Amino acid sequence: MRALGPVSVAAAAVHAVHGGFHVIETVTKSTGNIGTPTDLSACACDHAPPPADVDRENRYTPRQHLRLIGTGVGSTSSPTSPPRPVRSPWFPCLARRSFRRRKWPSLCGETDPTDPLMPIRAKLAQILRPALDGHPQLRSALKRADDSMARLHHSVAGVVPAIIRPTPEILFISVTGQCNYRCIGCRYERDFMVGERLDIGTVRQVLEDARGAGVGSVRLYGGEPLLHPDLPEMIRFGTKLGLDMYVTTNGSLLDKRIDELWNAGLRWLTIGFYGDGETFSQYTQRPGLVGRVAQSLARVRERYGKELSIQLNFVVVRPLATMETLDLAWHLAETHDLVLHFDLYGYSIPFFTSGPNDELAFTPEDEPLLRAFVDRVLELRRAHPERFPHSEPFLRSIPDWVMKRADMRIPCDAYRFLWVGPDGSVQLCDTSFPLGNVKERRLRDIVYGPEHRCAARDAFQLKCPNCTCQVEDRIRKHAPSWRRYSREGGS
């Protein structure tokens, strides 16, 4: 590790306070990729292994890369802050017990903001966020220190996986299975969670419990979340609890609902981008909705100016990963002041598919085009870094992710996540590791249990379908990959 400056030392101190894993880190050597696909049956935990035929999603990512400790440039789509601590073995048991003994407030605004069980990192983020807003250089320095510590953490965990603990920071809630598009790469509204929807009472409980468990950021999506009548109330409730609430939508109904969402406190939005014109019609199977995203964006900017942060999620699947579609997305980004984010082909995420004729998958013949596509993105990023939340190393790794797929054996930090589906099911990530159902048990009784701990460790070791979720974070926290893709032309 390079010589640490004062900021890094401060970050290390934070980690030390939180759990003391720095001691282990200093004496343990870095490891490489997680070797071969792991035998799922080897897991000693109770959680069910993922079904063999799963196809899954790409985790998307949150807002805070622009706000928390990150610089907004070269950071990831998920909140960034010092890596999670490793607590001494007795700590989680005590924490869990007292966590369950707690009296839970039933009304928003009553939750104690100094809850002693909220992980220190979440508390620090809450304290630091406003203070760092006017200090981009300090924020950037902390971000670099944080990244270095995260790489150390993962290097040590490669040797001692037991140090991986569940530390839920980000909660994804799929509020409805309903959608007004029929994307060829998506199963929502076709055969995934059809007719399922979370009611507002359940979502309120989930948000309260998540807040108590240390979650800082919540993504509301689906399906199409703007089809849920209670979406504004969910945002209002979560915001009052002090959670960073954001929504991922296809954007088609945004102009119609933006006032309610804004009034509820929404200030951060991500929009799935599926091209325009014929490309859009073929991908979404909804030709009548061509142009709705651009109209919605114009309306939102006219009403609320730049106070709403908006990210366009460009989905890197074969029919969309073309120069023309990239130019189109870039034009939208420039016209409406958007950040351009890339979600990768979700080959193993349960609610995505490869299309009816496998047309979303990349073949070896696509590689030159794909590399040219990435080169163009890198060029744009160098000229306009403020428009790209991704790091260069991650962008360089894109062809490998979508071509090698599950052979990319890079540890996953899904220990920071929780996912709740429209039917109430809870998983560690949207793809794997079922933990329970919030319609049967409160989230507070699901988290931090033995299954959760086991799932966190197994996720790190990729005892899962190894999807394309969190790929930016995975590259950034894996020292060998970070070095490899940091090199010009590295792949």
Q: Pick one of ligand SF4, ligand SAM, none as the site partner of residue 218 (Cβ within 5 to 8 A by kind).
A: none
284 makes contact with ligand SAM (CB under 6 A): no
**Shortest distance (Å) from residue 366 CB to ligand SF4:** 21
Considering only 41-49, 338-346, 377-385, 474-482, which stretch makes contact with ligand SAM by CB under 6 A?
338-346
Contact between 222 and ligand SAM by CB under 6 A: the answer reads yes
Cα(238)–Cα(247) distance, rounded to whole angstroms?
A: 12
**Which residues lie near ligand SF4 (CB under 6 A)?**
59, 179, 181-183, 186, 188, 222-224, 250, 272, 412, 414, 429, 431-432, 459, 462, 464-467, 469-470
Give the nearest distance from C-beta 62 to ligand SF4 in angstroms.
14
Q: Give the list of residues 6+ apart from residue 39 with CB closer than 8 angstroms, or none.
A: 463
Q: Tell me whether residue 208 or residue 451 sits nearer to ligand SF4 (CB atom).
A: 451
Nearest to 317 by CA among 292, 342, 341, 291: 342
Q: Stretches 17-25, 47-55, 121-129, 342-350: which one binds ligand SAM (CB under 6 A)?
A: 342-350
Q: Is 249 in the site for ligand SAM (CB under 6 A)?
A: yes
Min CB(453)–ligand SF4 separation in Å: 14
Question: For residues 421 and 406, is the Cβ–Cβ distance under 8 A?
Answer: no
Listed in sequence order, the residues at least 6 apart from 142 whose beta carbon sits closer than 8 Å to its beta carbon are 7, 10, 11, 69, 128, 132
- Using CB under 6 A, which of the segments 128-136, 177-185, 202-210, 419-427 binds ligand SAM? 177-185
Q: What is the DSSP letter of 428?
A: S
Q: Binding of ligand SAM at residue 389 (CB under 6 A)?
A: no
Cα angle vertex 71, ends 69, 77, to 5°? 80
Report residue 199 as tokens: 């009611």
Partner touching 432 among ligand SAM, ligand SF4, none, CB below 5 to 8 Å by kind: ligand SF4
The reply on whether position 250 binds ligand SAM by CB under 6 A is: yes
**Contact (Cβ atoms closer than 8 angstroms) between residue 336 and residue 295:** no
345 binds, among ligand SAM, ligand SF4, none (CB under 5 to 8 A by kind): ligand SAM
345 binds ligand SAM (CB under 6 A): yes
Residue 467 site contact among ligand SAM, ligand SF4, none (CB < 5 to 8 Å, cut-off depends on kind):
ligand SF4
Distance CA 294, CA 387 (A): 18
Residue 413 C-beta: closest distance to ligand SF4, Å: 8
- 272 contacts ligand SAM (rule: CB under 6 A): yes
Pick from 68, 317, 435, 469 the residue near ligand SAM by CB under 6 A.
317
- Token readout for 115 is 């809850």
Which CB sits closer to ligand SF4, 143 or 463?
A: 463
Asked if residue 180 lies in contact with residue 417, where contact means CB atoms within 8 angstroms, the answer is no
Query: In angstroms, rounded to a whole number, what is the distance separating the alpha carbons of residues 322 and 362?
Result: 12
Which single residue is written with the structure tokens 């060998």? 480
Measured from the CB of residue 82, what is the shortest distance to ligand SAM in angstroms?
Answer: 27
Applying CB under 6 A, which of residues 166, 346, 393, 411 lies at the interface with ligand SAM? 346
Between CA 338 and CA 340 the distance in angstroms is 6
Considering the complex, what minimum distance in angstroms separates the CB of residue 407 from ligand SAM? Answer: 18
Q: What angle do CA 121, 432, 388 make, to 5 degrees?
A: 55
DSSP 433-462: -EEEETTTS-HHHHTTSHHHHHHHHHHHTT
Choice between 148 and 249, CB closer to ligand SAM: 249
Size of the site for ligand SAM (CB under 6 A): 20
Residue 430: both structure tokens together: 């949207």
Among ligand SF4, ligand SAM, none, what does residue 391 contact (CB within 5–8 Å per kind)?
none
Q: Give me 150's structure tokens.
A: 């995260």
d(C-alpha 94, C-alpha 98), whole Å? 6
Q: Could you say which of 221, 237, 246, 482 contacts ligand SAM (CB under 6 A)?
A: 221
Count CB-CB contacts under 10 A for residue 472.
26
The answer to whether 429 contacts ligand SAM (rule: CB under 6 A) is no
Among 108, 156, 213, 315, binds ligand SAM (CB under 6 A): 315
Q: Residue 308: is it exposed, middle or buried by C-beta count within 10 angstroms (0-12/13-18/19+)?
A: middle
- If contact means CB under 5 to 8 A according to the sort of partner, which of ligand SAM, ligand SF4, none does residue 64 touch? none
Closer residue to ligand SF4, CB minimum distance, 119 or 465: 465
Nearer to ligand SF4, 158 or 465 (CB): 465
Nearer to ligand SF4, 170 or 266 (CB): 170
Q: Contact with ligand SAM (CB under 6 A): which of 99, 192, 268, 352?
A: 352
Report the relative pairing of strands 417-420 and 170-176 from DSSP bridges. parallel
Kindly list the distances between the CA atom of residue 46 and the CA atoms of 36, 286, 396, 444, 454, in Å, as whole numbers in the listed order: 23, 43, 38, 19, 8
Residues 253, 292: Cα–Cα separation, whole Å: 8
Residues making contact with ligand SAM (CB under 6 A): 58, 60, 179, 183, 185-186, 221-222, 224, 248-250, 272, 313, 315, 317, 343, 345-346, 352
